[in-house]
Structure formats: structure tokens, C-alpha cells
Amino acid sequence: MAKFETEKLRNLGIVGQGDAGKTSLVEAILFNTGMTDRLGKVDDGSSNMDFEPEETKRKITLSSSLHHCEWNGHELHIADTPGYTNFLHDTRGCMRILGGAVLMVSAVDGVKAQTQTLWRWAEEFEVPRIAFINKLDRERSDYLKVVDDMEKTLSCRPVAVNMPIGEELAFKGVIDLIKMKARIFQFDEKGTYEETDIPAEYQDEAQRLHVMLMEACAESDDELMEKYLETEELTDDEILRGLREGTLTGVFTPVFCGSATANIGIRQLLDYILICMPSPIDKGTQYGTNPKTGEAEERRPDPKEPFSAMVFKTVSDPFTGKLNIFRVYSGTVKSDSTVYNPNKDCSERLGQILLPEGKKQKPVSEAVAGDIVAVAKLKETTTGDTLCDAAKPIRYECPVTMKPVISFALEPKNKGDEEKIFSGLTKLAEEDSTLILLRDSETKEMIISGMGQVHVEVAIEKLKRKFGAEVFLKEPKVPYREAIKKSVDQHYRHKKQSGGRGQFADVHIRLEPKKRGEGYEFVDKVVGGVVPRQYIPAVDKGIQEVMHKGPLGGFPVMDFSVTLYDGSHHSVDSSEMAFKIAGSMAFKKACLAASPVLLEPVMSMDITVPDECVGDVIGDMNSRRGKVLGMDPQGHSQVVKTHVPMAEVLKYAPELRSMTSDRGLFTMEFSHYEEVPSHLMAKLMEEFKQEEV
């Protein structure tokens, strides 16, 4: 490849809320740069970027897809990312490797919750941003209202570089506030326009915004500020210099506008992407660690540096196999070369290097610093791994993976499909690290966890389409436990005579509760040989075999001790089996007499919500028997820390989404077990009996 020098490369993510028009913008960019010969449409299924059947069906982006194009002597690598909450984890995975981002905002809907989350992540990964306000040809669109909304909601400084000519159905073009020229479009989808003077009715507003733009650009550079204070004017080149500086430093966010589906304002946006967005050289040195010494390492974005790259996405297909997509940070890599994976401590043989083009790939001979390329069928490499020169190893830090928030039990539609289901979902999990599959050793259920119900449903649809396995989704069983509340002594004599050698064992045990988390303990206090040494382990074994099925609901009994202190035996009829049976039966009787109780798992949750939603979330947690432990401020949000029974939050994700208008996020992990309140015990016991029938 190496057609473009590193300074002529731009790695760009198109990010924003769902239904803002991100994919339509990418389609318009590809069309205007000559990569496609027709304007792809999401609504009619002709999109080059949303090519998976599940995406075509829902008309939304479910997984990031990549393409590239050329514009004015530059190469653009473009990532079209998801905007719906269930799939934002994929967008976060792309953030680590982006040079810059175009934030898409709908002129109709304004700034939504997902936009706030994406903005926060862009700040975390230090990704420079420009904004594109889309859908100005739709009813209820309002450009200036959205600019104001950005300032208030995102706590940023939006600076208009464009302004629209006309509103809603009367929208017909854009004004360039640097050149102070108007572009009137013909709405022919080809992006045809006529450049004219600014219409008289827009002169005053355009001049006001032009002055605000000059002031912002002047503030980004001391030299420009000095000139502006003296003359109150800047040349177009000086404004462009300040625009670039302000964008790269995050002092302000340039705002552009248009309509992606009508192909209005796209070519001008491309011009400013080259000006405002950083090249890999602008992003500067990348830092990592030496996997062998643990010392800090750094790599400059130079083709002559030792090769290093990060795998940020994996695509799995039953026919073509696994495809790893990576961003090259330094050096040059050629097809059919060998590289080192420090995360797995292994060498990987690269086959043909591929340049992603939506659902297709274009073979290339090499990739240099700044390129985004793919390679198929690596044996050990997964998302988040570093690839590098074995002689100069480096490992880059991988972004923290988001944790799943909802789980479902899987029930095969056809008997005998378990292995096919597990194999297929394991491969799907390779390309999506937030999709977790496990088999619960207690309930014997296959459990799938994901970022939301739609996320899991899409995975199940892919399982059927790609691997031919169908399943039903159902609510997973809660892994309850049982415990005892008082100490009891129990005697059990096992005696069986059926001709020939019989069975005889006699045991006396004491069953005592222990503190939570102390587990099981067996104590031998037999004296005088009343129970021979060789039979004592059999008593312990008999108890351990039945302690996994308690007397209340058949759940494991936890945190207790058993003391064997007396018994008797028969010289002929006693055996290990007899004492094993006696121990198990004594334990069962003792459990029933020791005031057994049901324990439920309690989860530790961190719930991040906007300030105005805190009261609702806390009230909701109280209604779920939760205990709020405290709150930590986080910008304009609060992190509510709470303990809540698992049974109360099995379907919490969609409920939190509804409660916070899709602005709430949470993480959840197991904390401890607590006794089920007495008023709920009877209801649960009835449910357990019905399940047994």
C-alpha cells in the first residue's frame, strides 16, 4: 500500500446517537470521493456499511464497519460506529485507535443521552472532535437550538463554521462562515451546488457568527490573538490556522451542517476534516510497556520505527474464519511476515494484509504507521492484543471492556444442539468481548450475558444464520443458597438385612451454623474407636454429597460445621458405604431440625445517572429492597452505589433506560448472600414446588 505518507492519513470515527445519520454520512462521503458509484441508503437496504442481515432488518448499525477513501491528496480511514446503547461498547473499542471523530447530531432530536456518553469517552481517549448537525431538511429541525443544546449538555464550546440557508422543508444550502460564501444545492443527490453571495436576509446573522468564529480562532493562538486585538480582523488562512489549533487542543468544537441523505454540505465537511482532524504524526508518540522488562516504551508514528499495532476489532465468520482488524502505530508491516504478540507471548504469521471496504476487503502489500488494515486466520490473537516487532517488543494498554448488564438462560430448540450452540456463541464472543457465555454448574443452564436485550437477541439471530442453531431465551434461575440458624444433635442408625452380609452404621453428629463465608467444616471427635478410623472419611463424604441439595428448595447448604462425636459399628456388616449412607441421612434430618433458611445473592451495583434522575433511581432501588451505600459525583452525573438482591434486578437494564431516558449506565457484580425476608419465603417455596411438578 504505502501510497500515502503518514502525514497524509486521517483516521476518523463517525460517532453519535442512534438515528443521527452516521451511516448515511459515510455513504455520502464514499459517493463524493468516488469510492462508490451510487449513494447508498439505509432505508432501502443498499448501504455499503450496514451490510449484516440483522442491520438491514432493523435499519440501524449494530457493529462498527470500516472503509477508506481519498480526498485532495489524503487517505481517510473511516469507522462507522453504532449509536444505540446496546451496542455502544463497540464504539468505545474503536475510540482507542481513532485520530479524530465527527460527532453526528440530529437537528431534529438534539443532543441525546448516548451523545453525552460518547463525548465523555472521546475526552477520556483524547480524541479531537468536530460536529456535523444533520437532517436540516426535516420538519422540526433547528440548527441554532442544537448548537445551544451542545453547549449546555456537553459543556463544550461549539463554534459554527457553517450556517443553514432556509429551515425544514425550505432548507436549500449552507453558508461558509470563513469564506463568507453561500452554496445553493440542487437536491439531485449528486451534491451539485452553485456558489453565490450570501442572500441579503442572512447577511447579519452570518456576520455575527463570522465574528464569533474569528474570536474563537484568535483565542487558540497567542499570535493570532495579538493581531485580532489590534485589527479586529483575521485572514482566511489565519482563521483556518486557529480553527485547526482550537480543534486539536479541544479549546472549541467546530460545527458544520447539512443533510447526509440529500448529499448537502458533505464535500465542504471533507475539506474541513483534512484541515481540522489530526494526522498520526499530530497525535504524536504512543506509550506502552516492554512485556519482558515492564519498563516504559514509546513509539513514534514513523514508518522507519519498529513495527507496532493494536487489534481493536475481530470479525468471525463460519466460512472465511476469523478476521483481526488493527491500527498500525509505528513502523511498516508487509504481507507474509511474522510478528510478535506480547499479550499471548507467541509469534503470529501474517498472511495477506487486507484493507477493509465495508463487507469486502482489498488486498494490499504493506501497511505503514497510521493505516487501519486486517489480516485473516491468526491463531492466538484476539481483540485488545498488541502486535509488534519481536526484536523490539511493546504492549499497549487495552481499553477496559464494559461489563454485561443482562443475562438470559438458553434452551435449545432442537435436542442435541448444545454443542453447536456453545461452539457458535463462543465464536461470536470472539468478535464481541461483552458477549459472555457460560454454563452454570448449579442450575445446569447455559447462560448468555450482554449489554441489553436487543444485543442478546441479535447474537441469537446471528447464531441461527451463521451456525444453524436455534434457541429460546428465558429468565435465568437465581442461584439461591440454604443455611441453618441453630445447632442440633442428630443420631441416625443405618441397618439393612436382606440375607447374607447386611449393612450397619450408627452415627451421632452435631450440626452447627458458621459465619457467612466460612464454608463447610468436618470435625472428628470420635473416641474409643466406636467408629473405626477407616469409616470416618465415609461419613464426611456422605455429607458432602447431599449438602448440595438442601431441604427447602434443593439449593446448596453453606456455612456450617459437622462434628462426628459418637457412633457404633458391626464387625461384619459395617462398611464404607453403610457409614456414607448414615452420614448423609443424619445430615438431612439435622438440617430440617436446625431452622433452615433461604439465602439470596446480593449484587453490588454502581449506577451512573444524570443529577436530575438520582431521586428516581434511589426510590426505585428502595422498592427493590436495595440498600444505597453512597454517591460519588462524576461531572453532571452521580454514581449511586448500592447493594440489591439479584432477583430484583434480572431485567434492570431496560427499566433503568426507561427511567433515565436512556442516560443511565450501570455495572453489577456479585457481593454476598443474605437471608431472604420471611414474607417472601412462602411465595418462593410455592414456586419451587411448582417447578418440581
Q: Compute the distance between CA of residue 525 and CA of residue 444 in angstroms, rounded to an integer.
A: 37
At 322, the pLDDT band (50, 70, 90 cuts) reads confident
Summarised one tens digit per residue, pLDDT across range 11-50 is 999 999 888 999 999 999 999 999 998 888 888 778 888 8
Please list, in sequence order, all residues whose beta carbon lies within 8 angstroms of the beta carbon of residue 561, skipping any fewer than 6 positions away. Answer: 511, 512, 514, 520, 521, 522, 523
Strands 637-645 and 596-610, how do they pair?
antiparallel
Asked whether residue 569 is domain-assigned, the answer is yes
Contacts of 217 (CB under 8 A, 6+ apart): 224, 234, 238, 239, 241, 242, 243, 245, 246
Say yes or no: 262 and 115 in one domain.
yes
Which CATH number covers residue 359?
2.40.30.10
Q: Sorting pLDDT into bands at 50, 70 and 90, what band is 678?
A: confident
In a domain, 51, yes or no: yes
Lowest mean pLDDT among 48-57, 295-304, 555-564: 48-57
Task: Give the CATH number for residue 665.
Answer: 3.30.70.240
Spatial CB neighbours of 137, under 8 Å, sequence gap ≥ 6: 168, 169, 171, 259, 262, 264
The pLDDT of 113-129, averaged and rounded, is 90
Average pLDDT over every residue of 569-589: 91
What's the chain's average pLDDT?
90
For residue 353, the cross-strand partners are: 364
Look at residues 450, 474, 498 and tell me which one is the last residue of a structural domain.
474
pLDDT in tens, 582-608: 999 999 999 999 999 999 999 999 888
Q: Which residue carries 485507535 as its cell?
A: 97
**Rounded mean pLDDT of 55-60?**
86
Long-range residue pairs from 352-356, CB within 8 A, at least 24 positions apart, any chain: 352/376, 353/1, 354/323, 355/1, 355/68, 356/65, 356/66, 356/67, 356/68, 356/325
Residues 121 and 262 in one domain: yes
Parent domain of 494: 482-594
Q: Are 480 and 600 in contact (CB under 8 A)?
A: yes
At 523 the pLDDT is 93
Cβ 354 vs Cβ 376: under 8 Å = yes
pLDDT value of position 340:
96
Query: 534 and 487 in one domain?
Result: yes
Which of 291, 324, 321 shows the shortest CA–CA distance to 309?
324
Q: Quick check: is 242 in a domain?
A: no
Asked whether residue 623 carries a pLDDT value surpassing 80, the answer given is: yes
- Tens of pLDDT, residues 135-167: 999 999 999 999 998 998 888 999 999 999 998
Q: Closest Cα to residue 250, out of 130, 116, 132, 96?
A: 130
Does 624 share its domain with 573?
Answer: no
**pLDDT score for 635:** 65
Instruction: Name the domain count of the chain.
Output: 5
Query: Same structural domain for residues 260 and 315?
Result: no
Q: Which band of pLDDT confidence, cut at 50, 70 and 90, is reported for residue 692?
A: low
Whether 662 is in a domain gets the answer: yes
Separation between Cα atoms, residue 50 and residue 53, nearest integer Å: 8
**Does residue 693 carry a pLDDT above 80?**
no
Same domain, 454 and 418: yes
- Tell whether 67 and 113 lie within a shared domain: yes
Q: Is there a single domain that holds both residue 104 and residue 16?
A: yes
Distances (CA, A) of 317 to 322, 349, 419, 428, 600: 6, 20, 18, 9, 40
Is pTM beyond 0.85? Reply is: no
How does pLDDT run across 398-419, given as a tens digit for each residue? 887 788 878 888 988 888 788 8
Q: What is the pLDDT of residues 206-228, one digit of tens each?
A: 999 999 999 999 999 889 999 98
Please tell me whether residues 506 and 421 are part of one structural domain.
no
- Residue 494 belongs to a domain with what CATH number? 3.30.230.10
In a domain, 187, yes or no: no
Task: Give the whole-angstrom CA distance, residue 640 versus residue 524.
Answer: 48
C-alpha cell at position 352:
495477506
Residue type, 579: F
Last residue of a domain, one of 355, 388, 421: 388
pLDDT at 1: 39
The string of pLDDT tens digits covering residues 329-377 is 999 999 999 999 999 999 999 999 999 998 888 999 999 999 999 999 8
pLDDT-derived band of residue 453, with 50, 70 and 90 as boundaries?
confident
DSSP symbol at 18: T
Domain boundary among 388, 414, 449: 388
In a domain, 247, yes or no: no
My answer on whether 610 and 582 are in the same domain is no
CATH number for the domain including 438?
3.30.70.870
Tell me if 66 is assigned to some domain: yes
Residue at 205 is within a domain? no
Side-by-side strand order, sheet with 173-176: 162-165, 173-176, 181-185, 193-196
- Shared-domain flag, residues 522 and 664: no
Altogether, the residues listed in the chain come to a count of 693
Burial of 572 (0-12, 13-18, 19+ CB in 10 A): exposed
Do 126 and 16 share a structural domain?
yes
